[in-house]
Amino acid sequence: MRLIVFGDSYGQPHEHDWLWYKQVAQSLNCEHIINHALRGSSIEYSLSRLDDYLQNDYRADDKLIFLTTLPVRAPMVAKDYDPTYACLYNIDVDHFGPSVKDSNFSGDIKEHLLEHRAYYKSHAKMIDYVESLYKILPVAGAINLVPNDAIMIMLFDKMPEHIRKLLTKDNLYVPDMCLYHVSEQELDKSNFPESVSNLGMGDRRPNHLSKINHDVLSDCIVNTFNNKKDCFNIDKFHKNILRKDNVHKFLDEWTNKY
């Protein structure tokens, strides 16, 4: 049995031993982890990885976890397109900082934005978040067709009820919560540390979670698979744990790979 992960930075591989997906694999005695999650990537990219897995690497006893990211990320999937650039979906290249050339982006990203200025301008102008939620439907439909045990974790929105009602597979579990709220609620807003104030590209927490909530997330996933029912509850996760007086300790935790 293997653990197969799809998604974005919430599942992005890191070297720490305590990451949630590594704990899950160990608890379930998985022989291997295949992690297709990639920071900044889109729903379309994750679906393309799922399609490739089904064509070329599928096993009937695999357990699947699909992390459903923001539906408004740039949908491009192509050999010459870096899928991590999908998170630039809301960049207005004419008004970002003084200019893209003067921004803090790396050279490759600046060059990409400048070369494809028209594409990103059009995307930022035309994209509508609510309208884009339809993308949850093909994700749910695809995973519903795969016979394996699977958990579909919503990252930024709960599963719409009209889609949930269409699911027919008994071993597909969709928690009634979204993981972004766990990340957000770790921060004590009354004593908010500036160094982790950015929950986007500047977030230094591996998978946007502190270790203690990696433990909780792992337990929720393992219990869901073992008990064959949704064992997620947002109240199980730790809240208000990051403050100005202790954030330096967490920065060490996130940096050290133990």
Residues 55 and 11: beta-carbon distance below 8 Å: no
Residues 41 and 8: beta-carbon distance below 8 Å: yes
Residues 85 and 28: beta-carbon distance below 8 Å: no
Element (H, E) at 150: strand 150-154
Specify the pTM.
Answer: 0.90
Q: Which two tokens stand for residue 122?
A: 């059009």
Q: Which two tokens stand for residue 207?
A: 């998978």
Per-residue pLDDT 10s for the chain (258 aa) are 999 999 999 999 998 999 999 999 999 999 999 999 999 999 999 999 999 999 999 999 999 999 999 999 999 999 999 999 998 887 755 554 444 454 556 668 878 888 888 888 888 888 899 999 999 999 999 999 999 999 999 999 999 999 999 999 999 999 999 999 999 999 887 776 555 555 545 678 899 999 999 999 999 999 999 999 999 999 999 999 888 777 767 766 776 543
Longest dimension (CA), the chain: 54
Domain ranges of the chain: 2-84+132-185+211-232, 91-126
**249-252 contact pairs (CB < 8 A, 24+):** 250/196, 250/205, 250/210, 251/195, 251/204
Given CATH 3.40.50, say whether it is the number of domain 2-84+132-185+211-232.
yes
Check the CA dihedral 169-174-175-177 and report its sign.
negative
